[in-house]
Amino acid sequence: MVDLVRDDKGRPLPLGLEQSASIPQMPSELLEVSMGPHHPSTHGVFRMDVVLDGETVTRLKPVFGYLHRNHEKIAEKTSYIGSMPYTDRLDYFCSMTNNWAYALAVEKLVGLAPPDRAEYIRIITAELTRLQNHACLVGFLLQDMGAMGTPLMYAFREREKILDLFESLSGSRMMCNYMRFGGCRVDLPPGWLEQARRVVADFPQFLDEFEALLTGNEILMARTQGIGVLSKELAVNASVTGPMLRASGVNYDVRKVDGYGFYPRFDFRVPLGDHGDCYDRLMIRLLEMRESLKILEAALRDIPTGPILNPKSKLRNFKPNPGEAYGRIEAPKGELGFYLISDGSVSPLRYRVRPPSLINLTILEDMCLGHSVADVVVILGSVDIVLGEVDR
């Protein structure tokens, strides 16, 4: 005779379900998953040691360094201008802003001021960089959520136009190597401004399209709202910067706080988020693109003629007086800073990068705890990292 298994009210359970009665009592076992380094959603060679309880993340350890290439030490052995092309390769999406941050640090070190036209060109290129970076970030984030291709391809279509502008200006699409200490390398080629004005004039249409595609999408909202909430206090304590910090509701933008370059001359607002979740981080980027367009319109209208390089600037035998300087800008990903100590020789004694991607990544665990493993991908995507900058 079969020994029936009974439930807690004494009723016999149907045959074959004896096992299920004992499931609630079964001790759950933690599972350690290594996400990456070759995982399509990690945006490069980046690994996360995720400890899962079922599908819930109980611990997460980001592991980076796979792309480390000794950038800072190389810069300490080469001339000041020699590290300019290497800065292109930090955050390879935004080489113009990387160039600017490094040039700004050296200019602070030696007290060089770029001419007016160069300052305008810098603002134009930096804001174009911000446009393409944010557009691509949104595209990548949606790709991670499973919107295969469509938004990413729309973003890349726009990025192509901006990269064409960069190519006709600097000769290279991504590795621009365009800024110099005290100005820029070459002047704008003929017709460049008209082309840039056209790109800027067409961009709002793309943004409207993008917003129609995304903003009200129920799947997107279900996947992002309330996911990966980053509190204001934690964001400030972890020195998170850029759109991530502003999505948590902290009004801090280096363009406003520091007023480097000619940014104080431009009228733009700093969009702020309210909840600090993934949805806010996504929307902040869309709003920032609108503000960038305002800056671009004004800059392309007001750009003066004149020289583009300070005559005191030089490439060879560039020896700043002993001293130190920290130059920082609002890169698309956050505060990008270069800290330089000069001992009066041709190469810096100490060269240090403050990479926004790396510092924004440090609070990944706090944002992921308690969410499911599928949300980790979305949260990581909303941080906006480029591994070239994280590892250097």
Partner 1 sequence: MLGEGIIKGMVETARNFFGSYHDPARFVTIQYPEQRVPLKENNRNFPFLVFDGADTEKGLRCVACKICEKECPPQCIYIVPERDAHGKLQKHPKIFDIDISTCMSCQICVEVCPFDAIKMDQEFELSTGDRFSNLLLHKQDLAKPNDYYHKIHPTEATLVDAQLAKERQLAAQRKAGAGAAPASPPKHAPEKLVPVG
Q: Which residues bind partner 1 (CB under 8 A)?
A: 78-79, 81-86, 150, 154, 164, 167-172, 175, 177, 185-190, 192-193, 209, 212-221, 308-309, 311, 315-316
State the nearest-atom distance from the C-beta of 25 to partner 1, in Å: 39
Q: Is the CB of 79 or the CB of 231 nearer to partner 1? A: 79
State the nearest-atom distance from the C-beta of 96 to partner 1, in Å: 15
Q: Is the CB of 40 or the CB of 190 nearer to partner 1? A: 190
DSSP state of 347: S
Q: What is the DSSP string of 58-83?
A: EEEEEE--TT---HHHHHHHS-TGGG
The string over 269-283, giving b where at least 16 C-beta atoms fall within 10 Å of a residue's C-beta and e elsewhere, is ebbbbebbbbbbbbb
Phi-psi map region of 64: left, alpha, beta (phi>0 left; psi -120 to 50 alpha): beta
Q: Is the CB of 41 or the CB of 170 nearer to partner 1? A: 170
State the nearest-atom distance from the C-beta of 89 to partner 1, in Å: 8
How many helices (H) and strands (E) would you count in the chain?
A: 16, 8
Q: Is the CB of 118 or the CB of 380 nearer to partner 1? A: 118
| 371 and 52 Cβ atoms separated by less than 8 Å | no
Q: Is the CB of 313 or the CB of 382 nearer to partner 1? A: 313
Selection from 98, 78, 104, 89 nearest residue 175 by Cα = 89
State the nearest-atom distance from the C-beta of 170 to partner 1, in Å: 7
CA 211 and chain centroid, separation: 20
State the nearest-atom distance from the C-beta of 49 to partner 1, in Å: 34
